[in-house]
Amino acid sequence: MTSSLTFTPPAIPSHDEPDWSQVTCIPVKGCDSPLVPTSLGPSCLKVYPAYARLGIPGAVNECLVRRAVYQRLLQAARALPEGLSLVVMDGWRPWRVQQYLFETLYQSLKTHDPSLCEAQLLARTREFVSLPSRDPDAPSPHLTGGAVDVTICDADGLLLEMGTLFDEATPESHADYFERHPPGVDTPQAAARDNRRLLYHVMTQAGFTNLPSEWWHFDFGDQLWAWYRGEPEALFGPAEMDSIESLWKRSLQ
pLDDT digits (tens, 9 = 90+) for 101-129: 999 998 999 998 899 899 988 888 888 88
Residue 109 to residue 122: CA distance in whole angstroms: 10
Residue 122 to residue 116: CA distance in whole angstroms: 10
15 is in an annotated binding site: no
What number is the average pLDDT over the span 194-210? Answer: 98
* DSSP strand pairing (85-90 vs 217-219): unpaired
What number is the average pLDDT over the span 2-11? Answer: 65
Q: Is residue 88 classed as helix, strand or coil in its secondary structure?
A: strand
142 is in an annotated binding site: yes
Query: Of these residues, 62, 127, 161, 214, which one is catalytic?
Result: 214
Q: Is residue 189 classed as helix, strand or coil in its secondary structure?
A: helix
Residue 77 to residue 132: CA distance in whole angstroms: 29
Does residue 249 carry a pLDDT above 90? no
Q: Where residue 31 falls among pLDDT bands split at 50, 70, 90?
A: confident
Task: Tell me whether residue 17 is one of the annotated catalytic residues.
Answer: no
What's this model's pTM, rounded to 2 decimal places? 0.92
Residue 203 one-letter amino acid: M
Residue 3 has what pLDDT?
45
Does residue 4 carry a pLDDT above 50? no
Residue 39 to residue 45: CA distance in whole angstroms: 8
- Taking a C-beta distance cutoff of 8 angstroms, is the pair 92, 148 a contact? no
Vertex 39: Cα angle to 37 and 44 (nearest 5)? 125
Q: Write out pLDDT tens, residues 156-200.
A: 999 999 999 999 999 999 999 999 999 999 999 999 999 999 999
Q: Where residue 242 falls among pLDDT bands split at 50, 70, 90?
A: confident
Which H helix or E strand runs over 244?
A: helix 244-252
**CATH code at 20-99+130-252:** 3.30.1380.10
217 is in an annotated binding site: yes
For 144-237, strand residue ranges (E) read: 147-153, 209-210, 217-219
Residue 40 to residue 34: CA distance in whole angstroms: 15
- Taking a C-beta distance cutoff of 8 angstroms, is the pair 130, 182 a contact? no
- Taking a C-beta distance cutoff of 8 angstroms, is the pair 126, 20 a contact? yes
What number is the average pLDDT over the span 146-155? Answer: 98
From the list 17, 28, 54, the residue with the least C-alpha distance to 146 is: 28
Q: Is residue 190 classed as helix, strand or coil in its secondary structure?
A: helix
- Taking a C-beta distance cutoff of 8 angstroms, is the pair 249, 199 a contact? no
- Taking a C-beta distance cutoff of 8 angstroms, is the pair 133, 53 a contact? no
